[in-house]
């Protein structure tokens, strides 16, 4: 599943196997120097845990197997009983909850890294000030962290990590607390910084736009396992799991094919496909624009027609995304005009139709 990524000498590679409190993680990651990998997954998939293992923060349960290599230096290897403390890993981390030091000004927070690695106070402050300026929040320099809004604090946390000039950069949902305006602004800063940063970068996120916009490679993690890896384009084009498909804005179903019919694995429904020769486990992809909606049972050439209800109506720019309920949950894109003429509203009844030719099937 996914392509194997060879890691360059200067890159980061991590192999993590651990079980804690019934939740187990089994993930291998490689990030090349000068490239950004996204670790994309739903809440509770284990993203923060992977980051903790790489940075050396995690209390390892007995039986864990961890190996972390950065720039040809083995930072940790449980089989060889090697362990490097976090401060010697030179891995910069931006945390999900910013974790600024409450007793220092913003400036001293950012200067903390340079000072810790040997710069003198004045020099460290100078560096810090220039990082803060780069993020466009110089007016916050003298504030205490508790005087910042959530978004302001997150920007400072990013500046702080970058100011320590780390060998690798780990970012745990650095944009989650930011508003839309600040987010695209910080995203731009981040991209500039990530681009000019020569080491490997690992960006943890549950937001596919972050992954797709900022990353060269994406690892999808679900329930502690890497379920797909590839470039954002590869992942968008051929999603391997329903979660990825939903992220990529398409619909994906697993099923059992026989004689041109596919019985869905997770839903009580059968789709008709064109390839009658296919047999066994298959993955079906249905693009949201390929589905048509009708007030009554349509009498056309479509081979797949079913009655359902509208769950959600979401305007997305110039189109409107309709989410259909049972028997097959499906995202459908229609025009605003269609919403009005069909009277689409949450919980309202509707007929859905899709041509067999519009359903692409691949062996699973």
Ligand X SMILES: Nc1ncnc2c1ncn2[C@@H]1O[C@H](COP(=O)(O)OP(=O)(O)OP(=O)(O)O)[C@@H](O)[C@H]1O
CA distance linking residue 294 with residue 81, whole number of Å: 64
- Nearer Cβ to another protein (82/345): 82
Looking at residues 16 to 75 of the shown chain, list those that interact with ligand X (rule: CB under 6 A). Answer: 20-21, 23, 41, 43-49
181 contacts which partner out of ligand X, another protein, Mg ion, none, CB within 5 to 8 A by kind?
none
Q: Considering only residues 8, 209, 261, 274, which one is a binding residue for a second copy as defined by CB under 8 A?
A: 209
Q: Lay out the site mask for another protein across 266-295 (x = CB under 8 A, - = otherwise).
A: ------------------------------
By CB under 8 A, tell whether 161 contacts another protein: yes
> How many angstroms separate the first and last alpha carbons of the chain?
10
- State the DSSP code for 146: G
Q: HSE on the CB side for 318, CA within 13 Å?
A: 0
Tally Cβ neighbours within 10 Å of residue 141: 18
CA distance linking residue 262 with residue 255, whole number of Å: 6
Give the SS3 label for residue 343.
coil
The least CB distance from residue 97 to ligand X, in Å, is: 10
- Nearer Cβ to ligand X (242/327): 242
CA distance linking residue 172 with residue 97, whole number of Å: 9
- Nearer Cβ to another protein (104/213): 104
Which tokens go with 107?
């400036």
The least CB distance from residue 323 to a second copy, in Å, is: 7
Q: Is 313 exposed, middle or buried (0-12, 13-18, 19+ CB in 10 A)?
A: middle
Q: Lay out the site mask for ligand X across 213-242 (x = CB under 6 A, - = otherwise).
A: ------------------------------
Which tokens go with 35?
């490239």
Which tokens go with 242?
């329903």
Tally Cβ neighbours within 10 Å of residue 192: 11
Instruction: Give CA torsion, residues 315, 321, 323, 324, to 10 deg.
Output: 120
Among candidate residues 202, 150, 201, 240, the one with its CA nearest the CA of residue 34: 201
Looking at residues 159 to 178 of the shown chain, list those that interact with a second copy (rule: CB under 8 A). Answer: 176-178
- Nearer Cβ to another protein (167/358): 167
Among candidate residues 193, 101, 111, 116, the one with its CA nearest the CA of residue 148: 101
Which tokens go with 184?
């695209």
The least CB distance from residue 88 to another protein, in Å, is: 8
Q: Lay out the site mask for ligand X across 133-152 (x = CB under 6 A, - = otherwise).
A: -------------xxxxxx-
By CB under 8 A, tell whether 116 contacts another protein: yes
Q: Considering only residues 19, 24, 26, 48, which one is a binding residue for Mg ion as defined by CB under 5 A?
A: 48
Chain residues binding a second copy by CB under 8 A are 21, 41-44, 48, 96, 147-152, 176-182, 184, 187-188, 191-192, 206-209, 212-213, 243, 246-247, 249, 311-312, 314-317, 319, 323, 346
Q: Which positions lie near another protein, rule CB under 8 A?
A: 55-57, 83, 85-87, 89-93, 95, 97, 99, 101-104, 112-113, 116-117, 146, 160-161, 164, 166
């Amino acid at each position: 599943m996914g392509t194997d990524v060879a890691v360059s000498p200067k890159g980061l590679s991590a192999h993590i196997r651990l079980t804690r409190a019934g939740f187990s993680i089994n993930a291998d990651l490689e990030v090349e120097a000068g490239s950004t990998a996204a670790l994309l997954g739903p809440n509770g998939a284990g993203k923060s845990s992977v980051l903790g293992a790489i940075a050396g923060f995690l209390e390892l349960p007995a039986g864990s197997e961890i190996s972390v290599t950065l720039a040809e230096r083995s930072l940790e290897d449980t089989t060889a009983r090697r362990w490097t403390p976090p401060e010697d890993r030179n891995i910069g981390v931006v945390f999900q909850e910013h974790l600024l030091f409450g007793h220092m000004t913003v400036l001293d927070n950012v200067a903390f890294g340079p000072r810790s690695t040997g710069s003198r106070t004045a020099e460290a402050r100078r560096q810090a000030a220039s990082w803060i300026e780069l993020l466009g929040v110089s007016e916050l320099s003298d504030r205490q962290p508790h005087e910042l809004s959530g978004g302001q604090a997150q920007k400072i946390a990013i500046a702080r990590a970058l100011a320590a000039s780390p060998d690798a950069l780990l970012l745990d949902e650095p944009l989650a607390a930011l508003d839309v305006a600040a987010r695209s602004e910080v995203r731009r800063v981040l991209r500039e910084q990530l681009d000019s940063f020569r080491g490997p970068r690992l960006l943890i996120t549950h937001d596919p736009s972050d992954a797709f916009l900022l990353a060269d490679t994406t690892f999808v993690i679900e329930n502690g396992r890497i379920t797909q890896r590839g470039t954002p384009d590869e992942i968008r084009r051929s999603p391997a799991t329903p979660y990825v498909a939903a992220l990529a804005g398409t619909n994906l179903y697993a099923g059992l094919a026989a004689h041109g019919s596919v019985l869905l694995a997770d839903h009580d429904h059968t789709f008709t496909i064109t390839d009658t020769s296919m047999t066994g486990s298959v993955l079906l992809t249905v693009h949201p624009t390929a589905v048509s909606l009708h007030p009554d049972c349509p009498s056309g050439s479509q081979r797949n027609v079913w009655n359902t209800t509208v769950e959600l109506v979401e305007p997305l720019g110039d189109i409107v995304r309709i989410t259909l309920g049972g028997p097959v949950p499906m995202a459908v894109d229609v025009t605003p005009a269609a919403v009005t003429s069909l009277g689409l509203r949450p919980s309202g009844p509707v007929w859905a139709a899709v041509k067999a030719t519009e359903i692409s099937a691949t062996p699973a």
